[in-house]
Amino acid sequence: MHSVTLLTCCVFLSLSGTPYAVEFKDCAQSVSAGGTKVQAASTAEFTTIPMPDSDVCDHLTPACPVLAKGLYSYTYASVVRGETPLGRVTVQWELLDTKKDPFLCVQFEVQIV
């Protein structure tokens, strides 16, 4: 993969839907997309966050399959749970193939208020 553009909000509100979008292109080979793995850390250790509706194909434009050299946009919206700790959090978001191997990984910081 050669190019990734991360489009995300820096501030999350605990009771509203929050969109996340990632554009990616130029995969070296086609990918059979599977699910996602999302982790977050407010200190040094990452914790997995269960994500409802984590099927990559449900959030991909254009639709699956992910073909080599294509340009795709992955968008996900969810509500930040009320028990989520406030403050700066590092999020690591992986898109997985059907073998549960990552084909895209982005890491970004957010501020939960």
% of residues, the chain, pLDDT over 70: 71
What are the pLDDT digits (tens) for 68-113? 878 888 888 877 776 666 788 888 888 899 999 888 888 888 877 7
Overall CATH class of domain 3-112: mainly beta
What are the pLDDT digits (tens) for 31-81? 899 999 988 888 778 888 888 888 999 998 899 998 887 888 888 887 777
Give the domain ranges of the chain: 3-112
∠ CA(9), CA(51), CA(8), 5° rounding?
10
* Distance set, CA 38 to CA 5, 35, 106, 109 (Å): 18, 10, 10, 13
What are the pLDDT digits (tens) for 5-30? 444 433 333 333 445 556 565 567 88
Residue 103: exposure state from Cβ atoms within 10 A (0-12, 13-18, ≥19): buried
pLDDT of residue 27: 64
